[in-house]
């Protein structure tokens, strides 16, 4: 399956890490490709830790397609996070080996899986919105009615600084 194939829903993930971040981002993207096939990836962005003192985070957004149920996708993501040592039960704002969130999955609202889609992080965090606007600039947020590129242009929180970084994808194929 190729992202953008109209026969299957688009699946958008947000990834972040601040513990051995380059390695964990590379490995997580490879695992997502193994599970979901072709991925399109945004640039990788570096940002300061939010809500706690810690190493900078690396973040990106990926686009895939899937015929799996949302529940199956969420279980797969949780399994991948656990493989990389993601600790549950720690404070929300704490270091992460890898954090993978489903931002969007077709037109689903996620209520049957106890999550809200689209994720509210899209409108709140530059490290989600900017890579999403890069990857899907003309797509429209179903609740705001604005394109992701327009939302990014209007985003106004100077405390959320991001920088695109050169990222070494060697060892996992195309980005």
pLDDT tens figures, 34-78: 999 999 999 999 998 877 778 999 999 999 999 999 999 999 999
Angstrom distance (rounded) from CA 151 to CA 84: 32
* pLDDT value at residue 1: 37
DSSP state of 31: H
* pLDDT value at residue 172: 63
Residue indicated by tokens 């530059």? 126
User: Domain boundaries in the chain?
Assistant: 10-165
Any idea what the Cα angle at residue 107 is, between residues 101 and 109, rounded to 5°? 60
Angstrom distance (rounded) from CA 131 to CA 109: 21
| Percentage of residues in the chain having pLDDT higher than 70 | 91
Report the topology of domain 10-165: Alpha-Beta Plaits (3.30.70)
Whether the predicted pLDDT of 5 surpasses 60: no
Reported confidence tier of residue 146, pLDDT bands at 50, 70, 90: very high
Residues 134-144 have a mean pLDDT of 94
Q: Residue 93: count other Cβ atoms within 10 Å of its Cβ.
A: 12
Q: Where are the beta strands (DSSP E) in the chain?
A: 10-17, 40-41, 44-47, 57-65, 99-105, 162-165
* pLDDT value at residue 7: 56
Q: What are phi and psi of 52, to 5 degrees?
A: -160, 165
**CA distance to 42, 50, 97, 140, 163, per residue, from 166 (Å):** 12, 22, 20, 28, 10
């Amino acid at each position: 399956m190729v992202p953008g194939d109209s026969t299957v829903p688009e699946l958008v993930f947000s990834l972040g890490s601040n513990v051995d971040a380059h390695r964990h981002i590379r490995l997580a993207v490879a695992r997502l490709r193994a599970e979901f096939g072709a991925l399109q990836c945004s640039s990788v962005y570096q940002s300061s830790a939010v809500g706690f003192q810690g190493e900078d985070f690396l973040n990106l957004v990926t686009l895939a397609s899937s015929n799996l149920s949302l529940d199956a996708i969420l279980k797969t993501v949780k399994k991948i996070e656990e493989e990389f040592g993601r600790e549950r039960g720690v404070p929300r704002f704490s270091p992460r080996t890898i954090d993978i969130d489903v931002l969007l999955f077709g037109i689903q609202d996620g209520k049957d899986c106890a999550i809200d889609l689209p994720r509210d992080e899209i409108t709140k965090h530059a490290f989600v919105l900017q890579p999403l606007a890069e990857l899907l600039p003309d797509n429209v947020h179903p609740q705001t009615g604005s394109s992701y590129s327009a939302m990014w242009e209007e985003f106004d929180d100077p405390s959320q600084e991001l920088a695109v970084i050169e990222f070494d994808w060697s060892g996992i194929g195309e980005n």
